[in-house]
Structure 1
């Protein structure tokens, strides 16, 4: 079975976060949050401003205090210290569910190996810049075949 883009984005973002100094648990939460954010972007025609407007509108209904500084590099909101996307706090369990429970231990390890090999070669300037990361890393690798 070929792995689709969502788990590949989650794994790449996890290893991006790890390389930027986040803990394993936080990197997994960031990874799944970023994959979800990009899926939303795709539906909103890649509009970061529109995404932020929607999150702020949702926040007014649901939550009083979203922190946009904690995960500024990733352009993610934070609630109680965890990434917040589409009205939900994302956790390491969400990452594991989408990578390991879905593809099994061996499949999850294969996806993560693929992501780690790519991230190990990415310059820090690309890791710290959302647009460079998207254009130079994601776009060039999103259709790499990963078979599990």
Structure 2
């Protein structure tokens, strides 16, 4: 299966969030959230709304009404360095939101990890090594992270990780 720029962005952003201190499930949520954000930004944010807060928050698994209300009440802007993202708390864990969709670690597994054909852990270790080698100031800057970590490596990592996923070696 092909690993593309979307999966590279999500994996590197998740590694960034993890290295900056988010728990793994929150880091994966952040990584997927940022990949969705950048993909939407590239396309021009079609259907963007004026309201900063969604009127409803969609969680894929059915939840009791009281729990949904508690999740809605936890909605806030979270800041990782100079980057802001909407988030909610579910069962004590921070998850990130785009529109009214919550990105969970299960979504990360489905949309990102599966593309690696069972080899995600190898790519994850490489992503962590890349991110850990960066200056903390770069990790705290949305722009510098994009320009100096993601952008110069995106195509090389997409090729390398696609080969890894398909069992080829270069």
Shorter-chain TM band: 0.7 to 0.9
Q: 1:79 to 1:109 in 2, by over 3 A?
A: same
What is the TM-score of this pair, normalised by structure 2?
0.71
Task: Establish whether residue 77 from structure 1 lines up as the match of residue 74 from structure 2.
Answer: no
Q: Which has the larger radius of gyration?
A: 2
Task: Establish whether residue 54 from structure 1 lines up as the match of residue 62 from structure 2.
Answer: no
Show structure 2 runs of 5+ residues with no match: 58-71, 166-170
**1:125 paired residue among 108, 113, 137:** 137
1:16–1:127 Cα contact (<8 Å) kept: yes
Q: CA deviation at 1:142?
A: 1.1
Show structure 1 runs of 5+ residues with no match: 45-49
Task: Establish whether residue 140 from structure 1 lines up as the match of residue 152 from structure 2.
Answer: yes
Higher helix share: 1
What corresponds to 1:47 in structure 2?
none
Q: CA deviation at 1:55?
A: 5.3
What corresponds to 1:4 in structure 2?
4
What secondary structure, in the 3-state scheme, does the structure 2 residue paired with 1:54 have? coil
What corresponds to 1:110 in structure 2?
122
Task: Establish whether residue 16 from structure 1 lines up as the match of residue 16 from structure 2.
Answer: yes
Q: CA deviation at 1:99?
A: 2.4
What is the TM-score of this pair, normalised by structure 1?
0.80
1:71–1:83 Cα contact (<8 Å) kept: no
